[in-house]
A and B are shown apart, each in its own frame.
Chain A
Amino acid sequence: MFKRLTSSIQSIGHGFIEYTWQFGFACRFFILILLKSAVSLRRFGLVMRELYFVGVMSLIIILVSGLFVGMVLGLQGYETLQKFGSETAVGTLVALSLVRELGPVVAALLFASRAGSAITAEIGLMKATEQLAAMGMMAVDPIARIVAPRFWAGVISMPFLAAMFSVMGVFGGYLVTVVYIGVDAGSFWSQMQSNVDFHYDIVNGFIKSCFFGVAVATIAVFQGYDAAPTAEGVSRATTRTVVTSALVILGLDFILTAFMFRGVS
């Protein structure tokens, strides 16, 4: 009885130490990437190559989901707003919810599952097949050569992807409410334009997506670098990337929103 109690407390302590250690390692790893990224930014071809795999290849999923999210928002918003006779406000609803929240958050979630997991698997497999160690033997720094370009590709492409997501969403909302249901196009756009503020809404959404980009890219490269060098370890690391990214994105979103939109309107 007593033994079981101590062992359960021990497991809590073990888990806590493990997570704290991992968090500290991730922070040091992040600073290490920043310190060593000068080399990879000077050889921009490396980042370019990763931008293709991380950014361009994520385009399809981001654009299509953005379109559908906007269409659903349009339908649902119209359904509710028409009860109050203010169905022209659907443009405002779609644009505000996309630009402020859904654009950055959903794009980051999709990005983490599409590109983040791929980055983790790639780096983890390189580690498992000892390619990273081989690079170290040849005096090529694996963090500068492999990790930093992927990190910067993630950071650069995230804001662009979020913006494209929002634009496709607004277009989807327009398609459903104006073309399909028949809300007046003029009031759709004018209500949207008079209620969306450049500094307050669009710049804040952009800042959010930059934060998410840094978070997702850091988590993805860290989990890959930290993965146990086995087939099972790589698969676990990939899962951890997606789960941790999702949790960090949503938590960070709440904190950022609390700082940005404190009911000042």
Chain B
Amino acid sequence: MQRSTMDLWVGLFVILGIGALLILSLKVGNLSTYSRGDSYQLVGNFENIGGLKVRAPVKSSGVVVGRVTDIQFSLESYDAVVTLNVDNRYIFPKDTFASILTAGLLGEQYIGLDAGGDDAMLESGDKIMQTNSAVVLEEMIGRFLFDKAADDDDL
């Protein structure tokens, strides 16, 4: 085979391969919309994080604005300390409310941020003061039974 045709085919092969890697990272992995580079850290204490995991999304009004980067148990307050990385484009007021929610019935858990009305904004390293724990099914059933028993007593 001619040398130049072979070079052409190999060139095509390499271009196809790099193209496939690009498609994988941009279209499948969605590298284009979320980068770790420019983000700031927030910390929140939760009484119960349920099934929240590191790398879970942080959403506000359903839009992904960041990721959970670290979960620790604090021996000072005996609760979970969750570190969030929020994209620099999104800044939130000081009185923002963070709650652990579930996507769908069997979906993964994520952190929802509800913006408050404060003029001062959260900065890197700040702590989110108002948090809402994950809903634990057993606790909910327990409360329901307790209420039911109280209702029955009234009758």
Contacts and interface: CB of A to CB of B under 8 A. Distances in A.
Interface in B102-154: 104, 106
Contacts of B25: 198, 202
Interface in A153-208: 157, 159-161, 163-164, 166-167, 170, 189, 192-194, 196-198, 200-202, 206
Interface string A106-143: 00000000000000000000000000000000000000
A10 B29 CA distance: 55
Chain A: interface size category: 20 to 34
A197 B29 contact: yes
Nearest to B21: A163
B9 interface: yes
Contact of A86 (B16, B18, B30, B104): B104
B3 to A, nearest CB: 8
Contact of B10 (A48, A163, A170, A200): A48
A232 B83 CA distance: 64
B57 interface: yes
Interface in A192-236: 192-194, 196-198, 200-202, 206
Contact of B20 (A56, A160, A189, A198): A160
A167 B9 contact: no
Contacts of B106: 84, 86
Nearest to B35: A198
B17 A160 contact: yes
A198 B3 CA distance: 38
A99 interface: yes
Given A163-B21, A167-B20, A167-B24, A196 B30 contact: yes
A260 interface: no
A59 interface: yes
A202 B22 CA distance: 10
A193 B30 contact: yes
Contacts, number: 83
B15 to A, nearest CB: 10
B29 A198 contact: yes
B17 A164 contact: yes
Chain B: interface size category: 20 to 34
Contacts of B18: 160
A265 B29 contact: no
B76 interface: no
B43 interface: no
Interface string A59-95: 1000000000000000000000000101000000001
Given A55-B13, A157-B17, A202-B28, 12 more contacts: A48-B6, A48-B7, A52-B10, A59-B16, A84-B106, A99-B29, A160-B14, A160-B16, A193-B28, A196-B28, A196-B30, A264-B54
Interface of A: 45, 48-49, 51-52, 55-56, 59, 84, 86, 95, 99, 157, 159-161, 163-164, 166-167, 170, 189, 192-194, 196-198, 200-202, 206, 264-265
The 10 closest A-B pairs by CB, nearest first: A160-B17, A193-B30, A163-B20, A198-B29, A164-B20, A167-B20, A198-B31, A163-B21, A56-B9, A52-B6
